[in-house]
């Protein structure tokens, strides 16, 4: 399998060395309909064989379930894996269906202890603030996260869905290894402020949902018709109703480029986002989510596809044609605050 192994990169100037593609583990426990635990475990193992070393989870995925699910895998491979988890989406006791964004130091301290316990590890390799609560100064939150580094509970810090200015303020308190934000062929709002700030500060970009939550692979077109009732994508504006109908044609150029390369549409979407590393001159480690070993093999192989001028001419206009926002409430995203 050595020949299939992906290249590595450093996660920002201060971060760990990782495979150039990571694995999003969220769907194994949460958001995207029913999962097969055995198949998900095989996916974790297959990813590691391929040199995928950055595994992404969060405390909120399945209310702790995703972190617990990863614990046996981490116990078996602790030294080979860089585990990233996140805090900030608190689940209130009085209503477990709600989420409140908490960035205050006492909350962060409780959250890290709970994540360490569920993951069954002594230290979290990369600890992200998942969402920003603007009522708490970012310096205060990052200050509390920096204390966790000093105490040896966390190795590196990350932020998700922050603006360029928020990243600069955070970096003044403690080095930030990575920003995790949505970035794909059809979600490019971070290129305006976040990406230039990350490049300026030596921070890596970890694009989440690089397959447009699966849409760019062609595996579904209309969430209401194609996905199960509990699937989170049914609540996302661009995947339902008139927007879904309008967006269906967006896949045509992706399919055309895929055909020209003898590749799949998913691989083209991943190759495009991976190539942003050269375009913007910063480390880029996308974390496609999958629960299937065959797909992890397919996705890792995308790191070897090089898109040329003709391909980019077809793909670049796509983002401007997307109908509908990426979330129903954009105020929690960097774009919503910029």
Residues recognised as catalytic: 61
Q: Which stretch binds ligand NAP (CB under 6 A): 97-105, 212-220, 252-260, 319-327?
A: 212-220
Contact 108, 59 (CB under 8 A): no
Q: Which stretch binds ligand NAP (CB under 6 A): 97-105, 165-173, 202-210, 322-330?
A: 202-210
Query: Which tokens sit at 10?
Result: 């450093």
Q: Is 258 in the site for ligand NAP (CB under 6 A)?
A: no
Could you give the string, one character per residue 151-190, with x where binding to ligand NAP holds by CB under 6 A and - elsewhere? ---------xx------------------x----------
Query: Which tokens sit at 126?
Result: 């990369």
How far apart are the C-alpha atoms of 128 and 131, rounded to whole Å? 9
> What number of other Cβ atoms are within 10 A of residue 324's Cβ?
17
Q: Is 219 in the site for ligand NAP (CB under 6 A)?
A: yes
How far apart are the C-alpha atoms of 184 and 217, rounded to whole Å? 12
| Residue closer to ligand NAP (CB basis): 72 or 294 | 294
Q: Is 334 in the site for ligand NAP (CB under 6 A)?
A: no
Q: Is 115 in the site for ligand NAP (CB under 6 A)?
A: no
Cα angle value 179/287/116 (rounded, 5°): 70
Q: Residues binding ligand NAP: what is the number (CB under 6 A)? A: 29
Closest by CA position to 9, among listed 155, 197, 178, 145: 178
* Torsional class of 187: left (φ above 0), alpha (ψ -120 to 50), beta (otherwise): beta
CB of 222 to ligand NAP, least distance (A): 15
Q: Which stretch binds ligand NAP (CB under 6 A): 148-156, 193-201, 208-216, 271-279?
A: 208-216
Q: Is 276 in the site for ligand NAP (CB under 6 A)?
A: no
How far apart are the C-alpha atoms of 272 and 298, rounded to whole Å? 15
Instruction: Identify the H or E element spanning 50.
Output: none
Q: Is 297 in the site for ligand NAP (CB under 6 A)?
A: no
Q: Is 298 in the site for ligand NAP (CB under 6 A)?
A: yes
Distance of CA 270 to the CA centre of its chain: 12
Binding site for ligand NAP (CB under 6 A): 24-27, 32, 56, 130, 160-161, 180, 208-214, 217, 219, 266, 287-292, 295, 298-299
């Amino acid at each position: 399998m050595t020949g299939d192994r992906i290249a590595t990169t450093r996660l920002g100037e201060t971060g760990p060395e990782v495979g150039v593609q990571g694995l999003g583990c969220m769907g194994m426990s949460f958001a995207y309909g029913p999962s097969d635990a055995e198949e998900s475990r095989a996916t974790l193992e297959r990813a590691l064989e391929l040199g995928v070393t950055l595994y992404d989870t969060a405390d909120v995925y399945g209310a702790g379930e995703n972190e617990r699910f990863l614990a046996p895998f981490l116990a078996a491979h602790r030294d080979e894996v860089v585990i990233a988890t996140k805090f900030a989406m608190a689940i209130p006791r009085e209503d477990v269906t709600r989420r409140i964004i908490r960035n205050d130091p006492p909350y962060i301290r409780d959250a890290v202890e709970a994540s360490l316990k569920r993951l069954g590890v002594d230290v979290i390799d990369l600890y992200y603030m998942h969402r920003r609560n603007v009522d708490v100064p970012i310096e205060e939150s990052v200050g509390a996260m920096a204390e966790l580094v000093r105490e040896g509970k966390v190795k590196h810090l990350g932020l998700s869905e922050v603006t360029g200015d928020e990243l600069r303020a955070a970096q003044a308190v403690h080095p930030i290894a990575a920003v995790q934000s949505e970035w794909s062929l059809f979600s490019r709002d971070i290129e305006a402020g976040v990406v230039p700030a990350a490049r300026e500060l030596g921070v890596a970009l970890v694009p989440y949902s690089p397959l447009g939550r699966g849409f760019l692979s062609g595996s579904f077109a209309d969430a209401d018709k194609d996905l199960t009732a509990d699937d989170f994508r049914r609540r996302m504006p661009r995947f339902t109703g008139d927007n879904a109908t309008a967006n269906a044609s967006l896949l045509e150029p992706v399919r055309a480029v895929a055909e020209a390369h003898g590749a799949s549409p998913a691989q083209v979407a991943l190759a495009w986002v991976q190539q942003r590393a050269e375009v913007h001159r910063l480390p880029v480690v996308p974390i496609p989510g999958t629960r299937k070993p065959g797909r992890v093999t397919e996705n890792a192989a995308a790191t070897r596809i090089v898109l040329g001028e003709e391909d980019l001419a077809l793909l670049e206009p796509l983002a401007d044609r997307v109908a509908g926002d990426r979330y129903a409430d954009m105020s929690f995203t960097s774009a919503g605050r910029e």
